[in-house]
Amino acid sequence: MTDLSAVSGRIANRTGELILFYSPGSCSLASHIALEETGKPFRPVKTLLSENQHLTPEYLAINPRAKVPALIAPDGRVITENTAILTFIALTSPDAGLFPADILDQTLCISQMAWFSNTPHIFQRAKFRPYRFVDRKEIHDDIRSKAVSSYWESMQEIDGLIADKQWIMGDRYTVVDPYALVFYGWGRSNGLPMETLENFTRHHNQMRERAAVRAVLEREDNPHFK
Ligand SMILES: N[C@@H](CCC(=O)N[C@@H](CS)C(=O)NCC(=O)O)C(=O)O
């Protein structure tokens, strides 16, 4: 697997660089964009879920939970979970302005990211991996269709959140915004009428104008934003 040998079997980070493991089209897009927004160097390592590269012994040594994203911090510790990675990126690059200064405002960003991770993301998982929820194959289609309708409700909720705001958290762009973009892209690929969500579509269009977003979508050759 490309590049992984450089870090295989060990988490020690000799070069002290930030290393992001991502898979194009997955939720790692959020962390990938946020790193790009900082303007600081980092090493993106493509870890294709479609080729089970997240299940190799090398990757499992980095993240035994077999999920992307994972970020290796300069001291070699591994951060998993988008919410934590995005918080780390924002807090370690204060000049990039990806987090508000006020602690309560920061906490509200974390709250929003936690909801992304535990609600729409879980509906997406249920659509694609119903076997993670129940063994009985006869009801997998029921789970899939309920997952799609619940996902759509979450998309409507996000649309409502930004009815009177420029960005998800208000007037300023934060790491919460690239996380929201993940769900817009998945909604499109799932055939949902995302374009009917006026506010979320405006947000998506604003995101697509940002240099960092364009660079990452191109680097990933991201399937959801063609
Ligand atoms: N709660 C984790 C979820 C990470 C996650 O589920 N990533 C997916 C890609 S979107 C993955 O790696 N899936 C592989 C699998 O479940 O086997 C987070 O928010 O970072």
Domain spanning 103-220: CATH 1.20.1050.10 = yes
Per-residue model confidence (pLDDT) at position 41: 96
Residue spans of the domains in the chain: they are: 4-96, 103-220
Q: 164 CA distance to ligand 1 centroid (A)?
A: 31
Query: Of all atoms in ligand 1, which is nearest to the CA of residue 82?
Result: 20
Alpha-carbon span 118 to 98, nearest angstrom: 22
Alpha-carbon span 224 to 184, nearest angstrom: 9
Alpha-carbon span 218 to 94, nearest angstrom: 26
CATH class of 4-96: alpha beta
With a cut of 70, which residues of the chain have pLDDT below it? Answer: 1-12
Q: Using a 6 Å cutoff on CB, does residue 67 contact ligand 1?
A: yes
Rounded to two decimals, what is the model's pTM?
0.95
Per-residue model confidence (pLDDT) at position 6: 41
Per-residue model confidence (pLDDT) at position 62: 93
Locus of tokens 């995005």: 86
Q: Please tell me the residue having the least CA distance from ligand 1 atom 12.
A: 67
Query: Of all atoms in ligand 1, which is nearest to the CA of residue 68?
Result: 12
In the structure encoding, which two tokens stand for residue 183, read together? 């769900």
Per-residue model confidence (pLDDT) at position 137: 97
